[in-house]
């Protein structure tokens, strides 16, 4: 297939491009570079620099490159920022998805895989989280993604041969094993890269937000899925799309606590990460991890990279090469 990847210069999108190409498909990259990095784009892939909500330019790209399917990653994803600036998230995430859907309809493209999130569930009453649990987000980021899912569901109802899959994934971690691309956000809020930043001196220490949760060691537990596994899930979903709207959780099916991640990082790096216990953050549930049995049962996908130490090691390969992200590039990937 010929595949358009939106948000292609971002963390997940840049990894997805490589997995899609490895699977034998042709890729066109699209990104406005507001938060992505041109250096993350692979050589040889056509690149369209524009906003995903620019209906006419996206439509033109879909037609020019004869696109068969879209993988939609373009979104802002910082929960705290979404609380401070909700309209930014509705404009970029929800309205951007609206523009993409309109462009796809105008171009006659009817296959879409959507990068959704477990944040659409809010604070579930039980663990693990399965797909039929109520979706009740607790922040604008989650709502911006849920509104996008709603639009896709409605388009599939109105256009019987339109195919869409929403992949609701959990904490994404790790990097390409060769260290060529990795995670580079500004500011960085994800635990594993924050730990690695502290280990290379890019920050003084890590803040552990609460150690009095009702978990075995008092710290929050999360489901960490390797970025390449997540990218592979998008490829599998793309290759098995059927008319209608489908949705799947993507995770490893169990969680690791913050202290377990710190201990694993110490094992991988040979020294203890510097950290302090800080106050809880509002809205942080004690546990979040996936029931990912549906995607395995229906699509045959299952996480392959489930050793958290190996995930940290892959992220460390990136940080050793570029301790301050793409700004410290030697050679571009």
Sequence-ordered list of residues with C-beta below 8 angstroms from that of 153, at least 6 positions apart, any chain? 164, 245
Predicted TM-score (pTM) of the model is: 0.94
Cβ atoms of residues 54 and 30 within 8 Å: no
d(CA 104, CA 85): 28
- Domain borders along the chain are 2-173+224-250, 191-222+254-327
The CA-based angle 285-275-213, given to 5 degrees, is 25
Cβ atoms of residues 58 and 50 within 8 Å: yes
- Looking only at the bridges linking them, the beta strands covering 256-257 and 221-222 are antiparallel
Three-state SS at 147: helix
Sequence-ordered list of residues with C-beta below 8 angstroms from that of 297, at least 6 positions apart, any chain? none
Structure token digits, residue 76: 């802002």
Produce one character per residue of 265-289: b if its CB has 16 or more CB atoms within 10 Å, e if not: beebbeeebebeeeeeeeeeebbbb
Cβ atoms of residues 290 and 229 within 8 Å: no
d(CA 81, CA 143): 13
- Please spell the DSSP secondary structure of 45-62, one letter per residue: S-EEES-TT-HHHHHHHH
Produce one character per residue of 25-35: b if its CB has 16 or more CB atoms within 10 Å, e if not: bebbbbbbeeb
Name the strands in the sheet holding 221-222, side by side, starting at the edge strand that comes first in the sequence.
256-257, 221-222, 287-288
* DSSP3 helix / strand / coil % (the chain, rounded to 5): 40, 20, 40
One digit per residue, the tens of pLDDT, for the chain of length 333 reads: 999 999 999 999 999 999 999 999 999 999 999 999 999 999 889 999 999 999 999 999 999 999 999 999 999 998 889 999 999 999 999 999 999 999 999 999 999 999 999 999 998 989 999 999 999 999 999 999 999 999 999 999 999 999 999 999 999 999 998 888 988 888 888 899 999 989 888 889 999 999 999 999 999 999 999 999 999 999 999 999 999 999 999 999 999 999 999 999 999 999 999 999 999 987 788 899 999 999 999 999 999 999 999 999 999 998 888 766 777 644 333
Catalytic residues: 141
d(CA 95, CA 300): 32
Q: Which CATH homologous superfamily contains domain 191-222+254-327?
A: UDP-galactose 4-epimerase, domain 1 (3.90.25.10)
Which CATH number among 3.40.50.720, 3.40.50.300, 3.40.47.10, 3.30.70.890 corresponds to the domain 2-173+224-250?
A: 3.40.50.720
């Amino acid at each position: 297939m010929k595949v358009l990847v939106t948000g292609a210069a971002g963390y997940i999108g840049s990894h997805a491009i490589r997995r899609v190409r490895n699977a034998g498909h042709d890729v066109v990259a699209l990104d406005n570079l507001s938060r992505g990095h041109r250096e993350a784009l692979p050589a040889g892939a056509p690149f369209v620099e524009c906003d995903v909500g620019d209906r006419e330019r996206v439509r033109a790209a879909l037609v020019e490159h004869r696109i068969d399917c879209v993988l939609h990653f373009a979104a802002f994803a910082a929960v705290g920022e979404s609380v401070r600036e909700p309209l930014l998230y509705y404009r970029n995430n929800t309205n951007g998805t609206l523009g993409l859907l309109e462009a796809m309809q105008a171009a006659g493209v009817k296959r879409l895989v959507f990068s959704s999130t477990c944040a659409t569930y809010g604070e579930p009453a039980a663990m693990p989280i399965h797909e039929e649990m109520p979706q009740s987000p607790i922040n604008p980021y989650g709502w911006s993604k849920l509104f996008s899912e709603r639009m896709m569901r409605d388009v599939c109802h109105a256009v019987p041969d339109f195919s869409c899959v929403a992949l609701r994934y959990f904490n994404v971690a790790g990097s390409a094993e060769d260290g060529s691309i990795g995670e580079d956000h500004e500011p960085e809020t994800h635990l594993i890269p924050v730990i690695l930043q502290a280990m290379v001196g890019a920050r003084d220490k890590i803040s552990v937000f609460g150690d009095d949760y009702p978990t075995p060691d008092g710290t929050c537990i999360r489901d960490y899925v390797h970025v390449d596994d997540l990218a592979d899930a998008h490829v599998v979903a793309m290759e098995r799309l059927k008319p209608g709207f489908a949705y799947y959780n993507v995770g490893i099916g169990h969680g690791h606590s913050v202290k377990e991640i710190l201990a694993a990082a110490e094992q991988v790096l040979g020294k203890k990460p510097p950290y302090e216990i800080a106050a809880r953050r509002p809205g942080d549930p004690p546990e979040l991890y996936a029931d990912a049995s549906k995607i395995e049962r229906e699509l045959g996908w299952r996480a392959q990279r489930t050793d958290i130490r190996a995930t940290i090691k892959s992220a460390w390969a990136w940080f050793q090469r570029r301790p301050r992200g793409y700004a410290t590039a030697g050679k571009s990937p």
